[in-house]
Amino acid sequence: MAATKTFRVLPGFNITLGFTLAYLSLIVLIPLSAVFLKTTSLSFAEYWHVVTAPRVVATYKLSFGLSLVAAAINSVFGLMLAWALVRYSFPGKRLVDALVDLPFALPTAVAGIALTALYAKNGWIGQYLDPLGIQVAFKPLGILVALVFIGLPFVVRTVQPILEDLDTELEEAATSLGAHRWQTFRHVILPILLPALLTGFALAFARAVGEYGSVIFIAGNIPMVSEITPLMIITKLEQYDYAGATAIATVMLMLSFTLLLIINGLQAWTSKRTGRDR
């Protein structure tokens, strides 16, 4: 067998791969495996009992359901925001651009308290919503508002650069071929943005699932109604039930991982369809 040595153009493949793996292990894999390891102090029956307790199951539904809804809302409005920021010039555009990142910088507890104050029955916004029968604070709707708030920057920031690169000629070509605005958006722009949009969706979703600080203030934390999964974990920890806490954490991890994997697969599929990996 004639083994020809292949040369790589970029140096340091081995060292970067080694470093990447070591770093990932240290920062991500070791802490996560510790979570699984800790759970093994429970028997399977005990584990199953903890993770399928009705109160805990209710939190899964709330956490993952609302996170998906929040990520979906952020995808729609994040896209609109990115579109406005890229395509139009208006006074204060730079300011708006900077504001988008604010949910990243703000301590989430501050955001939670501020939102609660706004949406409580006697708050600035809440006082007008209450007569309409809409209660935001201390309800699942309040959690959704908080999750939308903290997830906002992700979609904007992932879609923005793609949109900036998008040639207006494509739209002009579509229009000259007789496509209406909506058709141009639907058949020309959206397919090109979809991979970035999905990345933004995945990031916003992941962030929302793990969010704790802002949610607990506005959620009201009523068992079976407005408790999120991270809160369940904290509750167990406060009762020194470490194994129970990690048990719930493993379920969260696996669910998140599965969902992110699905989103990633979807993204790979769409970018293949957009011919980008060629």
Partner 1 sequence: MSIQVKDIHKQFGSFVALDKVSLEFPTGELVALLGPSGCGKTTLLRIIAGLESADSGQVLLDGEDASGTHVRERQVGFVFQHYALFRHMTVFDNVAFGMRMKPRSQRPSDKQIRTKVHDLLKLVQLDWLADRFPAQLSGGQRQRIALARALAVEPRVLLLDEPFGALDAKVRKELRRWLRNLHDELHITSIFVTHDQEEALEVADRVVLMDHGKVEQIGTPEEVYRHPATPFVYSFLGSVNLFHGRIEGDTVQVGEDVLPHVPHGFDHGAEVVAFARPHELDIVIDGEAGNGVAARISRILAFGVTARVELDGVNGASGQHFEVELTRSRVLELGLAEGQAVRLVPSRLKLFERETVGGVLQ
Catalog residues that contact partner 1 under the rule CB under 8 A: 167, 169-170, 172-180, 183, 187-188, 191-192, 273-276, 278
CB of 31 or CB of 191, closer to partner 1: 191
48 HSE (CA, 13 A, CB side):
3
Tell me the closest approach of the beta carbon of residue 83 to partner 1, in angstroms: 18
Distant-in-sequence, close-in-space partners of 271: CB < 8 Å, separation ≥ 6: 195, 277
Nearer to partner 1, 21 or 170 (CB): 170
Name the minimum Å distance from CB 178 to partner 1. 5
First to last CA, the chain: 31
Give whole-number Cα distances, 62 to 69, 139, 205, 228, 242, in Å.
10, 11, 13, 6, 23
Supply the minimum distance, in Å, between the C-beta of residue 56 and partner 1.
Answer: 43
Complex with partner 1: residue 48 or 269, whichever CB lies closer: 269
Helix (H, G, I), strand (E, B) or coil at 36: helix
Cα separation of 273 and 193, whole Å? 12
Minimum CB distance to partner 1 smaller for 28 or for 268: 268
Q: How far is the CB of 72 from partner 1 (least distance, A)?
A: 22
* Number of Cβ atoms within 10 Å of the Cβ of 267: 18
Nearer to partner 1, 135 or 175 (CB): 175
Residue closer to partner 1, measured from CB, 170 or 254: 170
Q: How far apart are CA 143 and CA 74, in angstroms?
A: 14
Alpha helical stretches, state H, 25-139: 30-39, 44-51, 54-87, 93-100, 102-105, 108-119, 126-129
Report in angstroms how near the CB of residue 268 gets to partner 1 at its nearest: 14
**Cβ–Cβ < 8 Å for 204, 146:** no
Shortest separation between residue 79's beta carbon and partner 1, angstroms: 17
